[in-house]
Structure 1
Amino acid sequence: MSDGTRPRGRQLRLGALAAALTATLALLCCTGGAGAFFLTELGGESTDMAPVSMDCKENYQVDVRGKIPRMSGYGQVQLRNAARIIKVGQEMKVPPRGWVIAVATAMQESRLRNLANRTVGESENLPNEGVGADHDSVGLFQQRAGWGTVAQRMTPEYAARKFYEKLVKVPGWETMPLTRAAQAVQISAFPDAYAKHEDMAARIVNALAGGAARIALVDGKKACDRAAAGQIAASGWTAPIPGGVGSGFRTASRPGHNGVDIAAPKGTDIRVAATGRVLVSRCDPDNRNLLTCNVDGWPNKGGCGWFVDVLHAGGFITRYCHMVSKPRVKVGQLVEAGAVIGEVGSSGNSSGPHLHFEVHEDGDRSSRGAIDPVPFMRSRGAPLKGVG
């Protein structure tokens, strides 16, 4: 529910990030293993989406009456509503980041269903896709009376237009965390609830709008797959540093290498790849051989050196190893996409300055959760330099 002036009371609050329950092994970053670290709160949806192959097309126009891709967890009516939201954004020339924010907001408010209300919607015999129960809130965005008449608020195009009109007036909305941008429009009593939908919303936008969540603004122009360090794609992701990938993910010569190594000069800023909550920020030496992270390391001795783990929407975790000094962030801190969290170094198991970068899924910090960062980052519009 939202009336633009007072908090809503229906949403479930996104729980505070739970502390880790167990850490059983020391992290052995560049020699393979990673310690188990179980989480009780991931901040993401458990629903999956059917694979959709879609090249990034900067000027792709949504066809709300055309064929809608199949996605598990969301029906054709819901996805067509998402298409209508995106279409309005295109007509208003709102950048693709706004489409992701709008779709994520409607996912939280109504699960992309055009809801009536027991007291105002049903009594007017308006077509609807379900009945909500939050005061006089109706429609995809659960907008209250201050947003327009009942009939207007239950018209998806009208509701989306009103949402975008308020969003684009929020200073800095394109670079702030999705949940802050949505909250600035919705004025929710439980603003954290929007965050968990960001990853799925980006995937829906990609599927319906020609890969639009992979678009970044470069020199004021839209460009596909150009979210370099400091530039943010519509998906909310950016490359952590501008260097090129050297050693890859679980290669034949290094099957236990659970990330990629990105070469860069010592002191290069490391940026967090997406908005998230810091899980770990500490020194990880191999206590048998290297007792401090404040010196350059050496290969085959184990340890990530100074490192950071960050939890993102969708249950993804990113890891940043071998920092030159103590990270700039603390456990529990919310960090915005593109924020500098440390500098490239050579602490821990390292033969020279570089960033060891990992991506994990399902909230699993161990080696079991590690996935190849190269295709993952490309799918988010933030490809790692030097790889196709």
Structure 2
Amino acid sequence: MSGVTGGTTSPRRQVRVGALAAALTAALALLCCTGGAGAFLLTELGGETEQPVNSNALNCGTDNEVNVTGDMPRFSEYGERQLRNAAIIIKVGQDMGLPARAWVIAVATAMQESGLRNLANPTVAGSKDIPNEGVGWDHDSLGLFQQRAGWGTARQRMDPAYAARKFYQKLVKVDNWEQKPLTVAAQRVQISAFPDAYAKHEELASRIVDALAGGAARTVQIAGKKVCDAAASGRIASSGWTAPIPGGVGSGFRTADRPRHNGVDIAAPKGTLIRAAASGRVVVSRCDPDNRGRLSCNVDGWPNKGGCGWYVDMLHAGGYVTRYCHMIKKPRVVTGQMVEAGEVIGEVGSSGNSSGPHLHFEVHVNEDRTSRGAINPVPFMKERGAPLKGAA
């Protein structure tokens, strides 16, 4: 991933009482991020399996066949011919029975390599006589994926369907490709001189796949049917995102009574595994001091104590930052570590400014880890096919 930076700005916040209903059982009591009227009945009820499961393996959204010859959606970044090439890439992946995550990776790769154009090359004899959409100059590379001679003949490499199939055949041989950062998976196939370049295309590639394949990049409602739940056991949506825990959202983002609450609180018992919401790099992993400067994260917090307790900040492609607060003990990841989507980074606890075990989850934009960069995680996660449970 390129352009990964991060500072050490403290996420300490002074927040007010805000109760949230635990969505585990009717017997569980109220939960809040900074204390409140409710006593807590959440206890160590047990965790979950650590093995992430890709939602695409459950055919989430893959029953919507792309129409290669029909009308193309409109995107300001690409024209009709380029989107038709993207449709061919998706159709080949569908015909091969591959999950939608593979389509997103393939489309993003072609966006970087050729701008979704089928390129000829003057250094390759006869390539300009083959139907093409422009001329490239990179060694003997040809076609949508700029494949070199070892991938096939010039005519084969300039056949979009052939090129896509060869890409997929190599992609599925990459170990754990579905959980890897898109740029890592693509680079294992392409062996590019610019290995970090693919990441910047991931979000737009997801939107293109979503538009062409009728919601395939989002595990939400498709044709009136709930396709998948990208939260339980770390299932990964084809967009590359997953809910950090499968609990229910109660206390929301910057509500009337908590205008400085820059995230949401997700109900969960102590010890529930917290997963990285997307692939990225850890920029902070530490104990946040309370409002008296004390490092007391190994004990449960209490109202108005201040601080995030044990917490992690991660930087993802597109400049997004996610924050995970109030862990029960030192996080499982360290600053600078690359983490895959769905990988366990810690466990739910009640350290810091907390009156009971839960996960405080934030999303920030533009690599801005301050309150200025915070956005509402609920619509953000829903758009990426990883809706937070209990959230509208």
When normalised by structure 1's length, the TM-score is: 0.83
**Alignment counterpart, residue 265 of structure 2, candidates 261, 268, 276:** 261
Question: Residue deviations 1:307-342, cap 9 Å, x none?
Answer: 111011111111000111111111111000111111
Cα 1:254–1:19 shift into 2, 3 Å: closer
TM-aligned CA deviation for residue 279 of structure 1: 1.1
1:66 aligns with 2:70: yes
**Matched residue type, 2:91:** K
User: What is the CA distance between 1:289 and its match in structure 2?
Assistant: 6.4
Distance in 2 (alpha carbons) for counterparts of 1:84 and 1:259: 39
- Residue identity opposite 2:298 in structure 1: N
Aligned: 1:134 with 2:134? no
Question: Where does the alignment leave 5 or more consecutive residues of structure 2 unmatched?
Answer: 17-59, 221-225
| Pairwise CA distance, 1:280 | 1.0
| Aligned-partner residue type, residue 292 of structure 1 | S
With over 3 angstroms needed to count, the CA separation of the structure-2 counterparts of 1:30 and 1:78, relative to structure 1, is: farther
Counterpart of 1:27 (choices 8, 11, 14) is: 11
Equivalent residue for 1:81, pick from 80, 85, 94: 85
What are the equivalent positions in structure 2 for 1:146-295 lying under 5 Å apart? 146-215=150-219, 223-288=227-292, 290-295=294-299
The equivalent of 2:115 in structure 1 is 111
1:321 counterpart (322, 325, 329): 325
Q: CA deviation at 1:57?
A: 4.9
Q: In the superposition, relative to structure 1, how do residues 58 and 127 fare at CA in structure 2: closer, same or farther (>3 Å)? A: closer
CA distance in 2, matches of 1:160, 1:121: 22
- Contact 2:62 2:99 survives alignment (8 Å): no
Identify which range, 133-142 or 370-379, moves more after superposition: 370-379
* CA shift for structure 1 position 156: 0.9
Most deviating of 378-387 and 168-177: 168-177
Given that 1:58 and 1:215 are in contact with CA atoms closer than 8 Å, whether structure 2 keeps it comes out as no
Aligned to 1:349: 353
Give the distance between the partners of 1:123 and 1:147, measured in 2 at CA: 15
In the alignment, is the contact (CA less than 8 A) between 1:320 and 1:358 conserved in 2?
yes
Please provide the CA RMSD for this pair. Answer: 2.2
Deviation at 1:201, TM superposition (A): 1.5
Counterpart contact for 1:290–1:301, Cα < 8 Å: no
Q: Aligned with 2:360: secondary structure?
A: strand
Inter-partner Cα distance in structure 2 for 1:185 and 1:133: 20
Identical columns (%): 73
Shift of 1:62: 0.9
Tell me how far apart the structure 2 counterparts of residues 253 and 121 of structure 1 sit (CA, whole Å): 70
- In structure 2, what is the Cα distance between the partners aligned to 1:289 and 1:166? 52
Q: Is the 8 A contact 1:319 1:358 kept in 2?
A: yes
Q: For residue 17 of structure 1, what is the aligned residue in structure 2?
A: 4
Question: How many residue pairs get matched?
Answer: 344
Q: Which residue of 2 aligns with 1:43?
A: none
Does residue 361 of structure 1 match 2:365? yes
Structure 2 equivalent of residue 338 of structure 1: 342
> Where does residue 120 of structure 1 map in the other structure?
124
Give, in whole Å, the separation in 2 of the partners of 1:230 and 1:299: 31
Instruction: Give the partner amino acid of 1:367.
Output: S
Q: 1:312 to 1:351 in 2, by over 3 A?
A: same
Question: Can you give the 5+ residue segments of structure 1 that lack an aligned partner in the other structure?
Answer: 1-13, 33-55, 217-221
Contact 1:214 1:225 in 2 (8 A): no
Tell me the SS of whatever aligns to 1:386.
coil
Q: Distance in 1 between matches of 2:372 and 2:125?
A: 48
